Structure 1
Amino acid sequence: MSPESGTGTMLYEISRIIQGGAAVCRHASTAAARVEHEHLFPAALQPRDYAVPNPTWNPETKRLYEELSRDPSWRRLPSYEEFAGSRSSMSLEADGETRFFTRNLDQEGIGFEYCMFYNEAEKRTVCIFQPGPYLGGLAGRALFSFFFFFAEPTLTRILWFLGLSLFSFHLSRPLLPSSRYTHGGCIATILDSTVGAGIVNSIGPAMTANLNLDYRSPIPLGSTVLIDSRVEKVDGQKVYTRCQVRSHDSAVLHSEATALYVMLKSGESEARL
């Protein structure tokens, strides 16, 4: 056997050893990832990710989702019906006993339909939100009538004394739920959820201390809005943020808010805040 052939054989064997070692490393890495995933999500408790398109999403919601998904600077945040970190210790019997408020309905399209994306470089979080028909609020004239009832005690006493039904009729009709606009509390909820998700992803666990929200224009049920939140300042445990809610084409400013969150120290219980 010539020296050249001996050298070639040796290099071939070394190559096989290296390739085998790389394969073992890849297998170990994959197995470790699988074990970690299975520890967090046992096979019997595999969660459903709700932050993906479903048949109830309208064209504008789908369009925004696709645009952000194609942009590498944005990372989609998965969304489950409960806190994923708690599932590792959850029993089969306990599954389903608690849910996130925004994921508390089994039927698609009737409540909170949304998907969040996070931009690490900008410390910014956006949420594509489509309110379903179960998120409707009261008509504005109902609130005015209710206020008028208590703001004019003399007039109401006279009407009550005369036994007139006109005022009662005036109150009962507007107090019917509106089928057109999203309840203000639901807007505050999804806004708070968006801001909180951004803080958790950029800084760490935190809880809402203060939320100042200005409603500029009502959000029609079934429409698509984009919630844009960013961290403005961090001062010790305090995190200051700013957020806007705009129509899918950014033409209408529906709401804007500022919020203060307090970061949780390592091992600190939420109950202490």
Structure 2
Amino acid sequence: MPSQPVTVSSSNHLQSDIKDYSLPNASWSPVMVGLYNEFMEKTVDGSWTRLPGCWRSVQFLKEKDLARIAKAVPVQMIEDARLFLRIAEMERLGFEYVIFHNDSEKKCVCLFQPGPLLEGLPGIVHGGALGTMIDTTLFMTAYNSANAVFTGTMTITFKSPVILGSVVRLEAKVTGAEGRKVFLFCEAQSSDRTTLFAEASAIFFQMK
């Protein structure tokens, strides 16, 4: 895992099922790359970890959790599945994002650059696309911090529209736990943290 600042280069030709999508590519804006480098510097002392950007959920789920899921879902369906966030084969068009996790603080920060396929109103990111990234950031926080897998409830309050191609900084944190329930909160802000796009609260459940 690189720990020094990077420059943007063209995408490699690795197979889609082994490519790490959380590495900068030619579509990332200077702002996106700059924030990425800031967080990569924080990984040097081990306080933060960059989570790999996977094509399939089986690539980041723990083996014991996969075994439990396989009891309810046909194996072939799992093998053929791909993450909704990887619907676009080409870079720049859909969900460009990277997530960093801080285990001691039980939180994640996601850097998200929405592409033109995520449009709602002209030039504006669809609320469902932003909601998807909020849910994803909450899930990765819940799973990596408290081994919680299932979204129980999620309430999102939208505050301001997001412009396509801009950079959104999402920060989610575990706020409490009760039995199998894990409580979380998330904010979606502009890259400079001066504009609040949305805030959300959620309850996730750990597997039995």
Change (3 A) 1:66 1:264: same
Which of 125, 136, 156 is residue 213 of structure 1 equivalent to? 156
Which of 8, 22, 25 is residue 54 of structure 1 equivalent to? 25
The residue type equivalent to 1:222 in the other structure is G
Q: What root-mean-square deviation, in Å, do the aligned CA atoms of Structure 1 and Structure 2 show?
A: 2.2
**Deviation of 1:94 (Å):** 8.3
**Deviation of 1:205 (Å):** 3.9
1:182 and 2:165 matched: no
Which of 120, 133, 137 is residue 116 of structure 2 equivalent to? 133
SS of 1:212's equivalent in the other structure is strand
Change (3 A) 1:103 1:45: closer
Report what 2:165 is aligned to: 222
SS of 1:107's equivalent in the other structure is coil
Asked whether the 8 Å contact 2:172–2:184 carries over to 1, the reply is yes
The residue type equivalent to 1:201 in the other structure is N
Report what 1:70 is aligned to: 41
Report what 2:54 is aligned to: 80
SS of 1:207's equivalent in the other structure is strand
Percent sequence identity over aligned pairs: 35
More helix as a share of residues = 1
Asked whether the 8 Å contact 1:81–1:104 carries over to 2, the reply is no
Which of 131, 145, 148 is residue 202 of structure 1 equivalent to? 145
Question: Gaps (5+ residues) in structure 1?
Answer: 1-43, 139-177, 266-273
Question: Gaps (5+ residues) in structure 2?
Answer: 1-14, 67-75
SS of 1:219's equivalent in the other structure is coil
SS of 1:258's equivalent in the other structure is strand
**Deviation of 1:104 (Å):** 1.6
SS of 1:61's equivalent in the other structure is helix
1:162-181 C-alpha deviation (Å, 9 max, x unpaired):
xxxxxxxxxxxxxxxx1x11
Work out the CA distance in 2 between the residues paired with 1:123 and 1:135: 29
Work out the CA distance in 2 between the residues paired with 1:103 and 1:85: 14
Change (3 A) 1:257 1:85: closer
Work out the CA distance in 2 between the residues paired with 1:257 and 1:196: 12
SS of 1:217's equivalent in the other structure is coil
Of 111-120 and 203-212, deviating more is: 203-212
Asked whether the 8 Å contact 2:27–2:91 carries over to 1, the reply is yes
Structure 2 length normalisation: TM-score?
Answer: 0.80
